[in-house]
Structure 1
Amino acid sequence: MANKPKPALARRLFRYALLYKKTILFALLILFAATAAQLAGPYIAKVIIDQHIQGIEKPWYAADPATVPEGVQVVQYQDRSFVRSDWLENGQEIPQQWEKASISAIGASFYLIVGDIPPGAAWSPVSDDRVEVVSDGQTQSYPAAKLTKEEIIQFYSYDFKPVLWLIGLYVILLLASSGFTFIQSYLLQSAALGIIQKMRTDVMNHIQRIPIRYFDNTPIGAVVSRIANDTEAIKELFMSFMATFVVSGVNMIGIIVALFILDMKLALLTLLLIPVFVVIMVVHLRFSKIYVTIMRARLSDMNAKLNESIHVMPIIQAFRREKKTIEEFEVLNEDRYVNQKKQFRVFSLSSRNAVSLIIGLVTAGVIWKFGGDSLQAAISFGVLYAFIDYLSRFAQPIIGIFDQLLNAQRAFVSAERVFHLMDQPAENEIVETSEETVKRPEGHVEFDRVSFAYTGEEYVLKEISFEAKKGETVALVGHTGSGKSSIMNLLLGFYEVNSGSIRIDGREISEYSKQELRKHMGIVLQDPFLFTGDIKFNVSLYDSSIGPEQVKQALKDVGAAPFIEQLPQAYDTPVVERGSTLSAGQRQLISFARALAYNPAILILDEATASIDSETEGLIQQALKVLSEGRTTFIIAHRLSTIKDADQILVLHRGEIVERGTHDELMSKQGRYYRMYQLQTGETGTARSGSLTSVQAQGI
């Protein structure tokens, strides 16, 4: 797996998006409809302004009422009929006796002139009945009529109804846009949540198959951060950035199309802004990614430090390391704070600030270019209004994308970390197993010249060979670091041997799937782990084949029933995280019952009696006799008194088996095992503690 080329990050994220392609595509269709409804607003406003509000300033004709064809809209004023040019049908012939007329707004007043006035001329009132008109540098005075409020309403009489219809259409489009926006937002965010749910499930499934070696070298807090924090950051990519990017992209395309419909030159001017914004985004991303990467790394380090501190809080307080721990955390926190400030500085300079400045300058330039007296000759008021409206709308998606760039960068950095975890080489796939599919082994275990190193050539096991027949009890003893736990880790398949082979019933364990290998193995550790739940759950672990009676019997066999039945809720008593409300001995008994309930063919006890007092140890010894009957048992023990009845005792020293035999055989040899046993059964306090520290100090 490690040798395969990794697909591009964006491509891997896209694959997850494809899982919800139908939902996303439907949301995009709804988005197009919402965008069309939104962008219709300025165009409707342009129509209202140009065709109706400013329609009064279009060319008019003054005619004798008798010469106006039937069906043509007219306004009666001073015994004459006035017909606006756009009320006539295209190609309709204008009678020669009709006179041209014009109406123009000067300040808050409207003036009517009957006569041929050049288009775009500037009007200036001299009195209520006379107006000067300036055109091409020439000034000419015309008789004019200042219209009253009632007369103005009369000239607008045919515009009221269309304006009301257009306003009604605009309101309907706003409501439709709001509804469409809600639907597309809901669909896109639902898809994003589904994508992240799938990704978290994939990560969780994958880490169940990552070899134990990876977790030996990776802080737990870092792994938790990738599953919890980093996937949450990726969620923002799909929920916020993807939605914003798609919405903004569609809006920008719609705005550009609308601008081309309005005016070709203004549309081309807007297109020139896109490369400018792209350059700003590239610069922003280049500088910002450096800081975002450091910020995510420090967050992971802080989680790891917090996780470690909480787990070893008694040690920290006992050795007065609180201040030093806080200082170490503060170094990480300060580094993240400094880089976050730098990232915000880049964001503040290159995002909303830069976009607003550029859009503002362009808007001011357009108003200056087409403003003043030349406006009507260049573009209409309606076009100018619509352009400014569209330009401000054009800024919104650009600003939206900039605002989401930080989330996007966090998401991509987090995605790199999550996919790095998912790219870790995994063991064979998790498979559902049952008693029918996995045959219970006899329990004949063979180690044949096994050598193993955790790193490089630093071998912790060297040419280990031994045989454990069905039903035998094999004990492993030796000082700390001699290789006892490593042998059991290899047997459980947590690590692969460097050389040699391990066989169960004559079959290489490398031929088993990890689940098949461990299906009929039971293990009890020195530091037992209890899950959040109740006592029954911690024995059965929700295995449907283990009923309540089997749970109670297992607890009874190991001697745990008396103290459990004295608890307020007995077997239903809740267990908090790690079983901290129970004593070490009680936790050990429950974990021992767990192994017994699963009825393993091979049982591994890794210093399982280290936390048991002398009275409880007697109960355990009785349970061990029942438990060991008919199954192969491996015992790693520092208390040599617990392994006197073992069929075979292997004494390890620096990764090698230096002695082997029964208790009596090894005692008769008076070698390393003899000296260890004598030391433990002596009268010194150190010996009674069960520790081999003194043995190691003497070089035994």
Structure 2
Amino acid sequence: MNTGKRLVQYALIYKKTLIAALLMLTVAVGAELTGPIIAKKMIDDHIIGIEKPWYETETAGKDSVSYKGRLYKREDRFNKGEEKGSEVRILQTELNYYFIPEPVEGDGERKAKDGKFYITSREGEASYPAEKLSKDELLEFYKPEVNGIITLMALYLGLLVLASFFNYGQRFFLQVTSNRIIQKMRLDIFGHIQRLPINYFDNLPAGKVVARVTNDTEAIKELYVAVLATFFTSAIYITGIFIALFLLEMKLALICLVILPILVLWTITYRKFSSAYNEKIRTLVSDLNAMINESIQGMTIIQAFRRQKETTKEFEQLNEAHFHYQNKLLSINSLLSHNMVGFIRNLAFVALIWYFGGASITPGSMVSLGVLYAFVDYLNRLFQPISGIVNQFAQLEQARVASNRVFSLLDEKGIDVEEANNWRYKGNVVFDQVSFGYTEDHDVLKNIDFEAKQGETVALVGHTGSGKSSIMNLLFRFYDARTGKITIDGVDIKDLSRQEVRNYMGIVLQDPFLFSGSIASNVSLENEDISREQIEKALKDVGAENLLNNLPNGFDEPVIEKGSTLSSGQRQLISFARALAYNPAILILDEATASIDTETETVIQEALEVLKKGRTTFIIAHRLSTIKNADQILVLERGEVVEKGSHDDLMKLEGKYFQMYKLQHGKQTTGSSLAG
């Protein structure tokens, strides 16, 4: 499905408010576009309508005018069958009006002199007897028009008020709808991120993901708020204006229709040149976000190793590239926006002058001043929506590119979140000839085979890259084994949902991750099933009470920026309490004591014993002294289990484990080597 259809689908989720907004917009546009028609009627029927033929009448009334003892009425005010007297005319030249007591043929250049009114046309000059009207006499002839003018003005004012009300309504509903759409889209993206497999984030910087959730969706928001409103408003305006133009003068309306294919070609040309630049700009924005995020996360290292200038230089290169492509896009926008609109507007007015100029010198084709006014008004109004559309081209293209990036993220294959059943496994874990690689051509685990029974402690030791963490990744089903089988209580974990596998697992990392909130909320992770009493008991059971009691707010102390205001020991104890509160059947300790000071390590070791009690525990450790009491130790090298047994058994073998242990205690045997 293409991007446009997907954007429409999101809009249709809130179609009721969207349709309401568009209906209100239609009413508002219709009310506004009635203005020139009303103005035309006011000009032709009332203001210059005085120049229509008048006839003498015997009937006095609101439409009759008294002039020098006689009554006159305009020809369009006579009732059907009413008798008409002799015809007279009232014509204007310069700023004066003249009473002509006989019919007038044709029209042309006018002038008045010595009691005569002269009209010069292509056929020649005609003269008529004329009497100049005084101000009061002229007002008498305009009196019948006053009510009509007031009625039309009141109607116009009412329509303007109506248009203002509906314009407010449509903008309000469009804004609400747009915000709802983006709210739904961001929720979908964030929810989808939770479903993405861990390997998706292996090669994608966090800053780029953040850019798609925030920057790109904000660009899409402008599509619905500004672009959609402008395009719909403009489409309705243009449609209404062309309907009015056709009603006024069909030939000129047909000439003006040429503007529409020009606008389409214009759009195609703009997209052709701007698309690549917008794509590059959005990519560079993501790169900038990624670099900023990385720099903030690594600010300690940057400053410690005096890399400020180099980091700034790298940022400057990205920023300069962004500036370069923005300038290219700006050039296109400048060329294809106001300049082009102005050019087409001038062409349209040339056509208007040519058409009406020709009509004015063609016998029988004289156009009224009201029609001319309405055409000029409508042409001016026509280019307002066109200008609005053109000005939104850049925003439209940015939103389209941003939409492609957002939808490409949503199209990544995710893992459905399923409700875990209430089955609590005991924790008997078996790895049966398991092999695995992060890439197809390289296995990091080869034929891993071991069994961990309920309540046992299994330690994984080996050099960096030997496969210790990969085993835990497979157990958690962050990845699936390429060959072999992993079972919990005899059930293949591939036959269980990931939620069922992880439902009774807990993990404590070497560098525990704390979320913004409080110490208590970091223990429960906002799980409603974990009560306040359970939170406090877990913290006390792992010995955190003594380390945390000096904080001003105790267990409600705020946690900011991954717990940067807490010591490493405090953070580790909170992560222990978190694991204990969730009461796992299987516990993974990944270098949990590697970065703890000696004094705090005693507290941590006591907390470990509380945590391990009755649980199947896997410990990844470099400090071999911390795993002497493990029931089973697996020695890994290059993805294979090279030794397996208890501490005493492995020491008797005098193999790899023996060498590692002696090396750590300063008693490396002659010829021992840790290479391999």
**Normalised by the shorter chain, which TM-score bucket?**
over 0.9
Please tell me the residue identity of whatever aligns with 1:539: V
Please report how far the alpha carbon of residue 38 of structure 1 lies from its aligned counterpart in structure 2 after TM superposition.
0.5
Please tell me the residue identity of whatever aligns with 1:220: A
Aligned-pair identity in percent equals 51
Please tell me the residue identity of whatever aligns with 1:323: K
Please report how far the alpha carbon of residue 561 of structure 1 lies from its aligned counterpart in structure 2 after TM superposition.
1.1
Does 1:699 find its partner at 2:669? no
2:249 to 263, 283, 298: 263
1:275 to 223, 242, 261: 261
TM-score, with length taken from structure 2: 0.96
Partner in structure 2 of residue 496 of structure 1:
480
2:583 to 584, 589, 599: 599
- Contact kept in structure 1, 2:457 and 2:617, CA below 8 Å: yes
Partner in structure 1 of residue 37 of structure 2:
43
1:29 to 17, 23, 28: 23
- Matches of 1:333 and 1:416, distance apart in 2: 23
- Matches of 2:107 and 2:448, distance apart in 1: 104
1:430 to 417, 427, 451: 417
- Contact kept in structure 2, 1:206 and 1:422, CA below 8 Å: yes
Partner in structure 2 of residue 169 of structure 1:
155
- Contact kept in structure 1, 2:659 and 2:673, CA below 8 Å: no
1:252 to 219, 222, 238: 238
1:84 to 59, 74, 79: 74
Moved more, 444-453 or 117-126: 117-126
Moved more, 352-361 or 565-574: 352-361
- Contact kept in structure 2, 1:192 and 1:239, CA below 8 Å: yes
SS in 2 for 1:208: helix
- Matches of 2:244 and 2:673, distance apart in 1: 87
Deviations 1:150-173 (A, max 9, x none): 111111110111101111110110
1:361 to 325, 347, 353: 347
Deviations 1:83-107 (A, max 9, x none): 21111235x4654xx3322222111
Partner in structure 2 of residue 102 of structure 1:
89
| Mapping 1:312-331, distance limit 5 Å | 312-331=298-317
Partner in structure 2 of residue 303 of structure 1:
289
Residues 112 and 479 from structure 1, CA distance in 2 versus in 1: closer, same or farther, beyond 3 angstroms?
A: same
Please tell me the residue identity of whatever aligns with 1:675: Q
1:143 to 129, 140, 144: 129
Does 1:346 find its partner at 2:340? no
Please tell me the residue identity of whatever aligns with 1:508: D
- Contact kept in structure 2, 1:192 and 1:238, CA below 8 Å: yes
2:209 to 201, 208, 223: 223
- Contact kept in structure 1, 2:62 and 2:144, CA below 8 Å: no
Please report how far the alpha carbon of residue 142 of structure 1 lies from its aligned counterpart in structure 2 after TM superposition.
2.0
- Matches of 1:344 and 1:696, distance apart in 2: 68
Please tell me the residue identity of whatever aligns with 1:563: L
Residues 696 and 233 from structure 1, CA distance in 2 versus in 1: closer, same or farther, beyond 3 angstroms?
A: farther
- Contact kept in structure 2, 1:444 and 1:505, CA below 8 Å: yes
Does 1:409 find its partner at 2:393? no
Moved more, 132-141 or 477-486: 132-141
Please report how far the alpha carbon of residue 696 of structure 1 lies from its aligned counterpart in structure 2 after TM superposition.
12
TM-score, with length taken from structure 1: 0.93
Q: Which runs of 4+ in 1 moved over 6 A?
A: none
Structure 2 unaligned spans of 5+: none
Moved more, 207-216 or 187-196: 187-196
Does 1:610 find its partner at 2:597? no
- Contact kept in structure 1, 2:179 and 2:221, CA below 8 Å: yes
Partner in structure 1 of residue 276 of structure 2:
290
| Mapping 1:114-125, distance limit 5 Å | 114-125=101-112
- Contact kept in structure 1, 2:107 and 2:120, CA below 8 Å: no
Partner in structure 2 of residue 547 of structure 1:
531
Moved more, 288-297 or 131-140: 131-140
Deviations 1:204-243 (A, max 9, x none): 1111110000001100000001011111111111111111
1:153 to 139, 150, 168: 139
- Matches of 2:4 and 2:548, distance apart in 1: 54
Residues 136 and 391 from structure 1, CA distance in 2 versus in 1: closer, same or farther, beyond 3 angstroms?
A: same
- Computed over aligned residues only, the root mean square deviation of the Cα atoms, in angstroms, reads 1.9
- Contact kept in structure 2, 1:72 and 1:88, CA below 8 Å: no
Please report how far the alpha carbon of residue 551 of structure 1 lies from its aligned counterpart in structure 2 after TM superposition.
2.0
- Matches of 1:311 and 1:214, distance apart in 2: 20
Please tell me the residue identity of whatever aligns with 1:561: E
1:19 to 13, 33, 47: 13
- Matches of 1:553 and 1:642, distance apart in 2: 25
Deviations 1:132-186 (A, max 9, x none): 2223331132221111111111111101111011111101100100000111111
Count of residues in correspondence between the two structures: 673
Please tell me the residue identity of whatever aligns with 1:168: A
- Matches of 2:293 and 2:62, distance apart in 1: 85
Residues 241 and 696 from structure 1, CA distance in 2 versus in 1: closer, same or farther, beyond 3 angstroms?
A: farther
- Contact kept in structure 2, 1:560 and 1:586, CA below 8 Å: yes
Moved more, 450-459 or 637-646: 450-459
1:486 to 467, 470, 484: 470
Partner in structure 2 of residue 394 of structure 1:
382
